[in-house]
Amino acid sequence: MQIFRTKSVEQTIAETGEEGRTLKRNLTWWDLSIMGVAVAVGAGIFSVGAQAAAFHAGPAVIISFLIAGVVCGAAVMCYAEFASMIPVAGSAYTFTYTTVGEVVAWIIGWDLILEMMMAGSVISKYWGVYLDDFFHLMGWGVDTNLTFGSFHIDIAPIIIVAFFTTLLVFGTKIGARVDGAMTVLKIAIVLFVVVVGFFYVKMSNFTPFIPPSQPADSLPGSSVAADVLNQPLWQWATGMVPSVYGVPGILSGAALVFFAFLGFDVVATASEETVNPHRNVPLGIGVGMGLIIVMYMLVAFVTTGMVSYKELAKQDSPSLATAFELVGANWAAKIISFGIVLGLATVVMVLLLGLTRIVFAMSRDGLLPRGLSKTGKHGTPVALQIGVGVVVALVAACFDIGVLADMVNIGTLSAFTLVAISIPIMRARRPELPRAFKMPGNPWVPILIAVANLWLMLNLSVLTWLRFVVWLVIGFAIYFGYGYWHARLGKGALTETLSEETDKAINTD
């Protein structure tokens, strides 16, 4: 079995011109930047930093954010090189198919499906929760939860998923415009909250900046202390006593807040719908990433400066709103609550887009049923987009999926790792290919990026790794039972119209 067979770049680009399976190019670099900010700046900016400060790193959570941001930013630059060279839907899946081989590409595609499906379901579920909280804070007697006998359903996730699914069916550009307007308002709210928070900052709360390491069981609110399955994998593997704060706390905090930077692999999936992708994809990704790193570090500074991390650790679920409440600024809770509702809505749209484009790319290659990659008159895969929306909405509305949130992190980190490794491989195999953007320091910088992502993966819990292994086993069963035998590459279908379609696709920006 030729499980490591690879598609050439020419074959990959040629597929974008296949009749009935062509996406419309109408996105600019600004659309991509806003898309990245939209998916990365959600509820996490108001909650993840406070939780990482309280239970992992203390004020040094600022360093945790910097580490996660640098690692994610460096990995994203690897994406930018590939996207400028191969502007095709599919993101990491497509990139690895041209370098490492089909089976690895399948693993990445399968991981990305997990990441985006679970993230879309979790975020839309939490959107409903925060919407109810906002209604409560405003004194409005509205409840989106319905009960029919013993059956319980939350209609809020269905509403938000249906809204953005409809927009995406009628065109990616339309969805991007609505999402962009909401994202600009969201950024304004974040900056307003940060500016106000600066007036409550006390420099004494930053001392000690890196709290001394202590056993996790001495901190009742820490999940690390709960049981072995919630312990970071590397601590469990080395027999290390579970601990919080200190350098280990900064690293585990970085693994936690990495969730806050997710989304730019989704941006890369829109390469095939971008005007002049060789220039606009790297530019859009870079600008968006810079904005996110600055915003998150500012929020982390304000959160830990307003209230001591020790006070945050006493709370059940600390957040930026908690910090304002502890300093007596309860009015800010309403603004933050509205910001969360707005922020989560934009995240849902980008995740729906990304999930659809991953399945679209795998379907077009034959690894999943080919019927899923048919596009309609608006240049979008209508049936697939609706199907994805239905699945995400039903899962979010009917199931408790909070325990699977960490799967989003491990799926993304595994994709980042393999994309980074693929940079030197592609440089060696195809040095003549034009690259509008090049990742500097090849091969050592990409290798270091891969190691850094792997290290963050090792800081995720044992339970997350066990679930990840189960998901991979299911994926291998589908690949060897269906994907390998139906792949167009194996059937030689891609080479029949290669020359004609390549010329057509390369000249279409």
pLDDT tens-digit readout, 452-499: 888 878 877 788 888 889 989 999 999 999 999 999 887 765 554 444
Indicate whether 222 belongs to any domain: yes
* Count of domains for the chain: 1
CATH of the domain at 379: 1.20.1740.10
Indicate whether 3 belongs to any domain: no
CA 508 – CA 478 distance, rounded (Å): 35
Using left for φ > 0, alpha for ψ between -120 and 50, and beta otherwise, residue 13 falls in: alpha
Confidence of residue 228 (pLDDT cuts 50, 70, 90): low
Indicate whether 506 belongs to any domain: no
Indicate whether 507 belongs to any domain: no
pLDDT at 264 over 70: no
CA 229 – CA 233 distance, rounded (Å): 9
pLDDT at 222 over 60: no
- Report angle CA 51, 254, 176 to the nearest 5 degrees: 85
Indicate whether 504 belongs to any domain: no
Q: What is the mean pLDDT of residues 246-275?
A: 76
399 class by beta-carbon count within 10 Å (0-12 exposed, 13-18 middle, 19+ buried): exposed
Residues 387-406 have pLDDT tens digits of 999 999 888 877 665 555 66
CA 178 – CA 167 distance, rounded (Å): 9
Q: What is the mean pLDDT of residues 208-223?
A: 71
Indicate whether 69 belongs to any domain: yes
Indicate whether 294 belongs to any domain: yes
Residues 339-390 have pLDDT tens digits of 778 777 878 888 888 899 899 989 999 999 998 888 877 778 889 999 999 9
Domain range enclosing 213? 9-498
Indicate whether 486 belongs to any domain: yes
- What percent of the chain has pLDDT above 90? 10
Measured from the Cβ of residue 222, the count of other Cβ atoms closer than 10 Å reads 22
Give the length of the chain. 509
Q: Which of 492, 506, 501 is nearest to 5 (CA)?
A: 492
CA 154 – CA 158 distance, rounded (Å): 8
Structural tokens at position 152:
């319980």
pTM (2 d.p.): 0.77
Residues 292-348 have pLDDT tens digits of 888 888 888 888 898 888 888 887 767 777 788 888 877 777 787 787 787 778 788
Q: Give residue 1's pLDDT.
A: 65
